[in-house]
Structures are given as C-alpha cells and as structure tokens.
C-alpha cells in the first residue's frame, strides 16, 4: 500500500474544475449546458500573438531558458509596470512563472510552518488556504464582505494580526486581469470593452432574479451574487441543482472560503447570447422552485 506524507493529504480541491468535469460529462450525454463556472474567455488569441509564437518556434527560440525567464520578457514586464504605475523595476528582480499558483506556492512555503499564522482573503483563491494547510501553518481568513464592496477592512485585518503572523496575502481586486505587454493593444481594448458590456448584462440580469442581488464586479470577469434571499440554505446545493436541473454551471461561494456561503460565482467570459440564456434558465428555475 502506497503511503504518502501527511502534508499531501492537506492539499485541498479547487472545485471549479470538479464542476467543469461534471458539466463536460453532462454535455457528452447530450445535455445542453451553459458553462459560467470556469473563467475561460471565448475570444480567440489575437493574431499578432499567434504569429509571434509561430515565428519564435520557427526561429528556434525554444528549449531551456533561464529559471527566472528570458531577459526580453522580463524587460517587457519592467516597461509595462513603468507605463502603468510610474515605477522603475529592475528586470533582474522580475521572475516569469506559469500562473499564480506557482507564485503562491513559493510565497507560502517561504513563511508557512507549524505554529505560524498566515492571513488570507476569504472568499478568495482556493490555493491560499490549501497551501497554508499544506505547510502546517494555521490559516486565518480575513473576511471580504459585500458591505465593504468585497474589499479589505483595515481595522478588521489589523485585529487579526498576532505575534505568530508570518504573512498577509492581499489581492485586490480579486482575480484581477493583466494587459498585453508589448505589441498592438487593439485586441485587448476590444476585449475589455466587450467584458464591460457583459458585466452590465450579467449584473442587471442577476439583480432581476428572485431573491438575488449582485454588486458590480471591479476586477476580472466574475460576478459574485448574493443568493441568500432565494431560500436555499446552501449555495453549493443551489449551484449543483442549477447544473443538474437547469443546465447552468456556476460555482458555490463556499468553494472560495467559509465567508462565501450565501453567494454564487458566475463567469461572464462566455458569450452575451449564452449569458442571456443562462439568466433565463436561472430565472425559470428559481421561480419554479419558489412556487413548489
């Protein structure tokens, strides 16, 4: 029998991918599923990026690279930070990583150990608590409350800091996006404009649903509606029922932390047509269940 270290058993699950797997399985069975669970934009990669990648491969720009990333890319990041924030960043202090999870793994491993406390936003990225528990440190959730615009409260955060606190994770706005570094920005501008239209569509539609209210998101392409007025005591149960009965994949708020109960997360990275159809299905489902 294979025996693994205890720390491995403390790694949690990111349920968005479990929902994706279930939605994919239902679609394979012939069900018409609208996926607003995963944050996968429906835009094609801009052509100049595709062409640059192909050219790099043809030119032989592949194989091993410096562990921190190639210098031209780190220089591009430095220029972008200067352009957007007016700060000078030495490219030698820039590290290129394949996604935020790698960054959080390294940061939390640097400070997490038994007896330490690490503060993290809740609701937030599931990797935070998962990695903190993996190191043996104590996770201390910092509530991100709707009445504060889903932002940190300085007073509440400071009150949670103790002599055992080793790290405070801040990500505001949560799931924030990043612009292209170099090259034409027209495609990015068009995407941002379309996401803005979709955001308005999804917020208006969610606020029209019975028992649902939704604040306007400030970052990325996710809405976090309050569903506590629907009569469902469990947001995860509501999310599951919406998928199984209405064919709409969304994520239950508790999958992002203990303070996520009473909320759902919806991605508006899908098309406007699919968003409208999903909202219609949700409306019909909630009214039918309320009448039952």
- pLDDT tens per residue, range 179-224: 345 566 788 888 889 999 999 999 999 999 999 999 998 878 999 9
Alpha helices in 143-216 (DSSP H): 154-159, 186-207
Q: Are strands 264-267 and 222-223 parallel, antiparallel or unpaired?
A: antiparallel
Neighbours of 272 (CB within 10 A): 14
Give start-end residues of each CATH 3.90.1150.10 domain in the chain: 6-44+184-291
Give start-end residues of each CATH 3.40.640.10 domain in the chain: 68-168
- pLDDT tens per residue, range 166-185: 999 987 655 433 334 556 67
Mean pLDDT of the chain: 90
Token readout for 95 is: 């590290």
Quote the pLDDT of residue 180: 41
Angle (deg, nearest 10), helices 186-207 and 272-291: 10
3-state secondary structure 81-102: HHHHHCCCCCHHHCCCCCCHHH
Question: Which of 262, 217, 218 is closest to 237 using CA atoms?
Answer: 262
Taking the C-alpha atoms of residue 130 and residue 15, their distance in angstroms, rounded to an integer, is 12
Q: What percent of the chain is predicted at pLDDT more than 70?
A: 95
Question: Which of 233, 273, 236 is closest to 253 using CA atoms?
Answer: 236
- 6-44+184-291: CATH topology: 3.90.1150
- Cis peptide bond prior to 43, omega within 30° of 0: no
Question: Which of 254, 289, 283, 290 is closest to 126 using CA atoms?
Answer: 254
Quote the pLDDT of residue 181: 52
- pLDDT tens per residue, range 47-73: 988 999 999 999 998 889 999 999 999
Q: Rounded to two decimals, what is the model's pTM?
A: 0.83
Write the CATH number of the domain with boundaries 68-168: 3.40.640.10
Taking the C-alpha atoms of residue 113 and residue 109, their distance in angstroms, rounded to an integer, is 8
């Amino acid at each position: 029998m294979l025996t693994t270290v205890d720390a491995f058993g403390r790694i949690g699950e990111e349920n968005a991918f479990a929902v994706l797997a279930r939605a994919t399985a239902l679609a394979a069975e012939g069900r018409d599923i609208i996926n607003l669970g995963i944050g996968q934009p429906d835009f094609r990669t801009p052509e100049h990026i595709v062409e640059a990648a192909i050219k790099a491969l043809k030119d032989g720009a592949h194989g091993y690279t410096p562990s921190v990333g190639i210098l031209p890319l780190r220089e591009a990041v430095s220029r972008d930070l200067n352009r957007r924030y007016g700060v000078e960043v030495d490219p030698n202090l820039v590290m290129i990583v394949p996604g935020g999870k790698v960054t959080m793994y390294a940061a939390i491993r640097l400070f997490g150990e038994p007896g330490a406390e690490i503060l993290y936003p809740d609701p937030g990225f599931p990797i935070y608590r998962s990695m903190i528990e993996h190191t043996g440190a104590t996770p201390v959730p910092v509530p991100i409350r709707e009445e504060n615009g889903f932002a940190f409260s300085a007073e509440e955060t400071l009150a949670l800091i103790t002599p055992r606190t080793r790290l405070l994770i801040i990500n505001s706005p949560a799931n924030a996006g990043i612009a292209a570094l170099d090259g034409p920005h027209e495609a990015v501008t068009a995407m941002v404009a379309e996401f803005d239209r979709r955001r308005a569509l999804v917020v208006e539609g969610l606020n029209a649903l019975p028992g649902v209210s939704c604040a306007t998101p400030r970052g990325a392409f996710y809405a976090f509606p309050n569903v506590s007025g629907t009569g469902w005591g469990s947001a995860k149960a509501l999310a599951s029922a919406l998928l199984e009965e209405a064919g709409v994949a969304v994520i239950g708020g508790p999958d992002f932390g203990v303070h996520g109960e009473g909320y759902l997360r919806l991605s508006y990275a899908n098309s406007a047509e699919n968003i409208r159809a999903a909202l219609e299905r949700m409306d019909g489902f909630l009214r039918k269940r309320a009448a039952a």
